[in-house]
Structure 1
Amino acid sequence: MTEWKPPQLPARIFINPRLSPAEESLAAAAPGVVDAEGFARAAAAIEAWPGYQPTPLRQLDGLAGALGVARIAYKDEGGRFGLGAFKAVGGAYAVLRHLQDKLGGNVTVADLIAGKYRARTTDITVCTATDGNHGKSVAWGARLFGCRSVIYIHQGVSVGRERAIAAYGAEMRRIPDNYDASVRACARDAARNGWQVISDTTWDGYREIPRHVMHGYGVMMGEVLAQLLPREDITHVFVQAGVGGLPAAVAGYLWLEQDALRPKIVVVEPEKADCHFQSAKEGKPTAVTGKLDTLMAGLACGEVSPLAWSLLDKASFAFMTVPDEAAVFAMKTLAQGVGGDPRIVGGEAGVGGLAGLIVAATDGDARRALLLDANSKILIIGSEGATDPVLYAQLVGRRPEEVLAAHEALTI
């Protein structure tokens, strides 16, 4: 892709009629989802993990000019703890909190990493269902803190992602159905065997661990606010949704930090896995069924997390869907670097928000509906890098190492 020319692709947009008014507090609008204390505790723990460092917030000025907006800031999570995705700060943090609660007393991060409680933690098993990145985070956290993990994947998860999770010592179980079926299989086996589910979605009687996951995601937003240029406001956030934990954490963090000045949250989904879009239209959690065979496998979820939805229903300015082609174009856009922009490796599920922005900004009706103009300052959460390098190369036409090498050459 030498000349940057965005294709005309279809998108559905639903402006949320239930958006809370600016003067309403998060505690009043969506109580018990996320809170400042939970975000602060997660940040303190995660920043003490070996290898922690903030991921970069990259300025895409060339792309902003091409799309007719003032600024685009891209939070590049591809290097997070070497796992390649933002999920590292969610699932692994929930594993930590579970072990601390299970062991009791004043069990520290340092003690667990040092193996002080290994005689007890080796008898503890955590499990989860995943499209890839969340399972890798749980498996990595289990290895880091000294317990056993069992990870459930569905038929749409690539072999490359399966091997990447197994590399952290997890026992892998593949379910011949979709993501939501793997969630149910995981919950059933956990109840039978006395394991602890570490999920990023909620159901009746299961809320606290997904809250830990969302609080862990808040680390990203704390970094973003520290990395923004002085007096740099954000008017819009385009963020992709699977079950909803990521956009809920983003929206909740910004609501707490910026209150009435919070930006417009646009939740983006694949058109073939649009449970948030359908839930927004119906005004209640609404499942979508079938194979959910989107290329954006990490977003192939048919049911919203009820807890996350209770916040997104009040915090989201709009919901939109994009076709798979939009994600591939966004990946190529990042790899090329428009107008001298840094060259970035973005995975197919991680670029959903950027895909939504490109489609919306180049369509007159969508642009007007989302109130995008020359003064708009956009935040994009680039939630993964090339978590499946083989698939990335097939889609982009370049290996991730080549893209990174081209970026390094530009910065020398």
Structure 2
Amino acid sequence: MQHFKNNPEYSNTDHVLNPKLFEEAYESIKNWSGYQPSPLQDLNGMANELGVNKIYFKDESERFGLKSFKSLGGAYAVVRVLKEHLQTKHQGQEITDEDLKSGKYAEELKNFTVVTATDGNHGRSVAWGAHECGINCKIYMHKGVSKSRGIAVELLGAEVVWVDGNYDDSLVRVKHDAIENEWYIISDTSYDGYTYVPKFVMAGYTVMTYEIAKQMEEEQIPTHIIVQGGVGGLAGAVCAHMAAIWKEHRPRFVIVEPETADCLYQSAKAGKPTMVDIKVETLMGGLSCGEPSTIGWNILKDNTDDFITISDDNIKSAMRLIAMGVGGDHGVEAGESGVAGIAALMEIKDNDEMRAALGINTDSRILLFGTEGATDPELYKDIVGS
């Protein structure tokens, strides 16, 4: 494990991610068919096992049947892009989510194509959004992504384009093909010249934080939030919204990444966005990202307290532990990337120096994000056994 203690300025992020976007996303998504808040699990047995006071675990294992928080982001961005496209064509006429999903504009949209690069879950969300709205979709996956994740996307009617290399190579290919064919990129990462759509993706993620604020009304505010890194889209959205909700009572914000894909950790050390060359793929496939999102980084650089990296060593054990339930806990289905926070706490359980550096002790109340369930069923069965 590596740790970098940041010196955040706790700056206001409204200029990066307008709070109005959060509200618009929540008001839209809460009315979608099948919407219900995901559980906030109290893992009291796990907390006792890992030497902390409380663990709150936001369980995204059943979200919209896609088994991932990503279903909130990509699909919402598809809806927003289509609505704005049609409003422009129809001179500002109001277009509703229901209009899109009912097929009212099917003829106009028959040649509309959305594309994205993905490690799995984001692509599935984009494919689902495209399917719901009746448009064309192409999902670019690198060879490190399991075939079962590709099949899940194809079952939603999207075409999978396999790319040699890693996630960043698939992103390069998407950019090229989208320009050449006039397709619309729905990416969960932002980069120079492409920041508009990723804000919708990030806004979709804050449905989770709206829910958490309501679910914790009778609880104590956490002392720590540990959230997965990746490109920084999820972390940036959670950080911005939780800071807006809890203001001066904001918890200590900790980002956890795989040690082989630690672009945010390296960026924090360098003081600027830094790309890493992923030579060894992590078991935490959804976090295998080598280049930070510019929007995410602009939030995190001034608002994150700690950046840590972990090995894959505790991932399988964490998946089994949370699945069986500890000390009376309800068993929770959590995939490889979904247990990163649990694995981090397992790694520091007997490391007094690291616990002190992170300010974690027996009084700590920690909020974790179970970002995915068994999104790769075969791998999950191999690890957990059922």
- TM-score range for the pair, normalised by the shorter chain length: over 0.9
SS class of match (2:275): coil
Report matched runs for 1:266-305 at 5 Å. Answer: 266-305=254-293
Matched, 1:169 2:152: no
Q: Which residue of 1 aligns with 2:231?
A: 243
**Residues 261 and 278 of structure 2 are in contact (CA less than 8 Å); yes or no, is this contact kept in structure 1?**
no
User: Structure 1 CA distance, aligned partners of 2:356 and 2:71?
Assistant: 36
Q: Which residue of 1 aligns with 2:194?
A: 206
User: Structure 2 CA distance, aligned partners of 1:82 and 1:171?
Assistant: 20
Q: Please, which of 28, 34, 38 is the counterpart of residue 55 of structure 1? A: 38
Q: Which runs of 5+ in 2 are unaligned?
A: 88-92
Q: Which residue of 1 aligns with 2:122?
A: 134
Aligned identity (percent) is 45
Q: Which residue of 2 aligns with 1:5?
A: none
Report matched runs for 1:332-371 at 5 Å. Answer: 332-371=320-359
Deviations 1:122-146 (A, max 9, x none): 2210000000000000000000112
Q: Residues 231 and 158 from structure 1, CA distance in 2 versus in 1: closer, same or farther, beyond 3 angstroms?
A: closer
**Residues 57 and 224 of structure 1 are in contact (CA less than 8 Å); yes or no, is this contact kept in structure 2?**
yes
Matched, 1:85 2:68: yes
Matched, 1:194 2:177: no
**Residues 238 and 265 of structure 1 are in contact (CA less than 8 Å); yes or no, is this contact kept in structure 2?**
yes
User: Structure 1 CA distance, aligned partners of 2:278 and 2:78?
Assistant: 31
AA aligned to 2:69 is: F
Matched, 1:20 2:3: no
How big is the shift at 1:231?
Answer: 4.2
AA aligned to 1:14 is: F
User: Structure 2 CA distance, aligned partners of 1:73 and 1:362?
Assistant: 21
User: Structure 2 CA distance, aligned partners of 1:339 and 1:345?
Assistant: 17
Matched, 1:40 2:30: no
Q: Which runs of 5+ in 1 are unaligned?
A: 1-10, 400-412
Q: Please, which of 54, 65, 71 is the counterpart of residue 48 of structure 2? A: 65
Matched, 1:255 2:238: no
User: Structure 2 CA distance, aligned partners of 1:259 and 1:389?
Assistant: 39
How big is the shift at 1:374?
Answer: 1.9
How big is the shift at 1:362?
Answer: 3.2
AA aligned to 2:4 is: F
Q: Which residue of 1 aligns with 2:77?
A: 94
User: Structure 1 CA distance, aligned partners of 2:82 and 2:300?
Assistant: 29
AA aligned to 1:70 is: N
Q: Please, which of 356, 364, 374 is the counterpart of residue 376 of structure 1? A: 364
User: Structure 1 CA distance, aligned partners of 2:247 and 2:187?
Assistant: 28
RMSD: 1.1
The total of aligned residue pairs comes to 381
Deviations 1:281-333 (A, max 9, x none): 11111111143411111111111111110111111110111111222121111
Q: Which residue of 2 aligns with 1:145?
A: 133
User: Structure 1 CA distance, aligned partners of 2:47 and 2:342?
Assistant: 11
How big is the shift at 1:53?
Answer: 0.5
How big is the shift at 1:149?
Answer: 0.5
AA aligned to 1:155 is: K
SS class of match (2:302): helix
